Amino acid sequence: MKRDLLQRLQAARAAKRPAALLTRLPDGAQSLFPEDDVPPALAEAAQSALHDDASRTVTLGNEQWFVAVENPPLRLVVVGAVHIAQALVPMAAALGYAVTVVDPRRAFATEERMGERVTISTDWPDDALRALAPDVRTAVVTLTHDPKLDDPALEVALRSPAFYIGSLGSRRTHAKRVARLTEAGLTEAEIARIQAPVGLDIGAVTAPEIAVSILAQVVASRRGGPKKKAEQ
């Protein structure tokens, strides 16, 4: 690999930008997607591989290319160490998400309650979200029902490129949330990114069922599936 290409690949990794290293077989010519100008068919193949999180060999005309996926890790940031979070954390971890639970209430945010497969932050939610710097591979879910905790996290998340932002609460609760976020300076387009009430409409009632509906909506948002909203 040429030094310039390696440096650009390392820069993409450091910036948590999705990238694909394209290698033509058998002569070894290389390009970096999406930075380099590549033929449309190769760009489409690279984008598909990034979307699927799967490196692959593709044949385009008389040429074979190996598409090596260099995606940032999938992350889920959960604001609120509540019962739904206890069910959501292990499910998300099983799907390959690195999970961080944010809750300044130290009595709730413990390894005993959240388990070992999670990073716990007891910082105030806006400080925690700024430090975590959500990227295009990050989902953010707020679950506390407390505006003092949920709103600061949403203000940061909505100004980030996070691919999914969901918030627990009824439609009436969300209407009040919209009013507060508008007063805080968020635009209509930014606020519209919130999936609220959070989760696919599967008739969920219990905490584990609601966790399933949330994670299903996260997957659907990432994969381009349905995005219906469920009442809580």
Output b/e per residue, 116-137; b: 16+ Cβ within 10 A. eebebbeebbbebbbebebbeb
DSSP code per residue over 158-170: TTS--SEEEE-S-
* Coil, helix or strand at residue 214: helix
Can you give the pLDDT at residue 230? Answer: 42
Using pLDDT thresholds of 50, 70 and 90, give the confidence band for residue 117: confident
What stretch of H or E contains 216? helix 207-223
Q: pLDDT tens-digit profile of 157-178?
A: 999 999 999 999 999 999 999 9
Q: What is the CATH number of domain 75-223?
A: 3.40.50.720
Tell me the domain boundaries of the chain.
3-70, 75-223
pTM > 0.75: yes or no = yes
Pairing, β 164-167 against β 194-195: parallel
